[in-house]
Structure 1
Amino acid sequence: MRVAVKETTVYGFDELPDETKEKVLRNLRGINVGDSFWHECIFDDIKEIGKLIGIDIDNIYFSGFWGQGDGACFEGSYSYRNGSVKAVKEYAPMDKELHKIALSLSKAQRKGFYQSTAVIKHRGHYYHKMGTEIWVDNYYDYDYDAICGGLRSFMDWIYRRLEKEYEYLTSDDSIKNTIEANEYEFDSNGKIYS
């Protein structure tokens, strides 16, 4: 019997030719989003922000990105929360869109003497904002649409937040960071050497 040893030259990412680097990036495009963990911390943050606004989120659903029916929605309940606009501005001082959503819901509640509540349920096959039913209680005609609109704007905001994170995690820079953090090495064809 004889033991044959095959010698393989391995390269760090930066040592690869540009064409092979592009191939590696293409092949590893989903490395940071291959499981559901990539969005769990965002979901946690969204639920915290929802609480500040008065939204108790039970479930978040989304599909994406860049296809028909893509979007985000949630199931839960909504009621007025005193100081919501201030709390959101303190929590996310740079997010003007989120400030507008909190303000629109607060204004809608003011018209109805802060008594309106809502229950939000997913329905159908799609996960965008129109894939929900919203039941509003204790409302006046003038605040129903504003409350539904504010809640659906929050759903759009959730989708954009997820999309932005997805785009970052699938970017060349993020993939390079993952390669570096895991100290991956490659063969001359760009396959991870193990």
Structure 2
Amino acid sequence: MNAARAALTRAVNRAIAGGAPVYVNQPALALVPEMGDVEDEQTEFSFDGLSDRAKEKARDDYRATGIDYDWWDSIYEDADTIAAMMGIQIKRKHHTLASGAIISGPQIWFSGFSCQGDGACFEGNWYPVKDPIGSLTAVMEHAPLDTKLHEIALDLADFSERCLGLIPDLSVHVEHSGSYYHSGCTRIEVYRDDDDRDFSGLQAMVWRAMLVKHRLLRLEFESEVKATLRAFMDWIYEQLRQEDEYLMSNEAVDEALADYTFDEEGEIVG
């Protein structure tokens, strides 16, 4: 009804512009040369058929409300796959669907993408991998062009290599802490299997010398491990940011809007 009324108004305006006389209290239909003009007036448009102004309105509306699915799931799953290659076991979180089915996914959170405090983090554990070279190779084969990820994988492989001879049962526990979801809002605890060793005298001196040689002194080593795990969280956030940037781009939005029809102003009508 609104579309027909708008079409009628445009037809009346054209008639007036063409010199049709206007009389007080004259029915509007008398100003219309032929009703066929109204019936044939286009009221629905494809996205490509919209004016530039209407296209911008359609894009803005879609960006505000159009993405109604968990687009980040694919990023989470890829991060989980890569984490496992590097010895990181990300905890699972579970969701119950309306059907009663239970699904699970990696326990990763993020907030973004324009405020202070935005970022990503996860909960889980890291253990030295038994095959550091194989671990690094797997990551490089999975993402051959991602040099930042290669650096993270190399650091974790190096930590594993250093641990295997002296503290192979080391474990690192990561949990979320605080009100935000960036890498700094995590508590990371390192548990070493040499904590209970009671060395004294010469034996203690030898043990410390070995730790120094392999760069495993507690404070320095723990600082390195924590920084690298947080760097991986920051890497996850960057993948999320890039995906969001693409989904909000004109290219992706225009592709999505190609499936809809619009009125002349850019409102979706079908």
TM-score (norm 2): 0.66
Cα shift at 1:112: 3.0
Distance 1:92 1:51 in 2: 14
Does the CA contact (< 8 Å) of 2:121 and 2:176 recur in 1? yes
Which residue is 1:106 aligned to? 157
Aligned equivalent of 1:165, options 233, 243, 253:
243
What is the Cα-based RMSD across aligned positions, in Å? 1.9
1:18-167 correspondence runs (5 A): 18-31=52-65, 33-35=67-69, 37-58=70-91, 59-81=107-129, 82=131, 83-113=134-164, 115=168, 116-138=170-192, 140-141=217-218, 142-167=220-245
Question: Which deviates more from structure 2 when the two are superposed, residues 17-26 or residues 5-14?
Answer: 5-14
Which residue is 2:45 aligned to? 11
Q: Deviations over 1:60-92 (max 9, x none)?
A: 011001101110000001112222111100111
Distance 2:242 2:221 in 1: 31
Distance 1:136 1:184 in 2: 54
Does the CA contact (< 8 Å) of 2:128 and 2:163 recur in 1? no
Letter in 1 for 2:126: Y
Larger radius of gyration: 2
Residues 31 and 94 (structure 1), Cα distance of their counterparts in 2 relative to 1, 3 Å cut: farther
Which protein has greater RCO, CA pairs closer than 8 Å, 6+ apart? 1
Q: Deviations over 1:119-147 (max 9, x none)?
A: 10001101001100001111632321111
Which residue is 1:192 aligned to? 268
Letter in 1 for 2:48: D
1:165-184 correspondence runs (5 A): 165-180=243-258, 183-184=259-260
Which secondary structure state, in structure 2, belongs to the residue aligned with residue 130 of structure 1?
coil
Q: Deviations over 1:79-109 (max 9, x none)?
A: 1222211110011111111000011122233
Distance 2:64 2:239 in 1: 18
Residues 32 and 80 (structure 1), Cα distance of their counterparts in 2 relative to 1, 3 Å cut: farther
Does the CA contact (< 8 Å) of 1:105 and 1:146 recur in 2? no
Distance 1:175 1:54 in 2: 38
Letter in 1 for 2:151: K
Cα shift at 1:34: 3.3
Which consecutive unaligned segments of at least 5 residues does structure 2 have?
5-38, 92-106, 193-215
